[in-house]
Amino acid sequence: MKTILVVDNQTIFDIAAQHYGTLEAVKEILALNPEIENDSKGYNVEPGEFQFDLPVRVNSLLTINENSSLINKNLLKEINEQVTTYEVWPEQ
């Protein structure tokens, strides 16, 4: 097991892709981190409710199983940058 630090605008899907190489790992990440929360930058999220499409709370420490059978070693390569796909669109 290892601990990772969540960066700004990183979703659970980004974390799964970066550390496991597959989105199938989302369920394992949630199981290992029952306290996971969304970032509260003005999003309307009920307390205790986790939204998959919103960023995870920035600077959260999450546990990742680096020996998981879900890690796709054929696809996963070392990523030297943080993976973030969430983007806030400016209001017009």
Contacts 24+ apart (CB under 8 A), 89-92: none
Which DSSP state fits 27? H
Find out whether 32 and 39 touch, Cβ atoms under 8 Å: no
At which residue do the structure tokens 């680096």 appear?
Answer: 66
Confidence bin at 90 (pLDDT 50/70/90): low
In this predicted model, which residue has the larger pLDDT, 23 or 89? 23
Encode pLDDT of 39-80 as tens digits: 878 777 777 789 998 999 999 999 999 999 988 776 555 666
Find out whether 83 and 18 touch, Cβ atoms under 8 Å: yes
CA–CA separation, 51 vs 43, rounded Å?
A: 10
- The values of phi and psi at residue 64, to 5°, are -125, 135
The whole model's pTM is what?
0.79
In this predicted model, which residue has the larger pLDDT, 86 or 70? 70
pLDDT computed for residue 92 by the predictor: 57
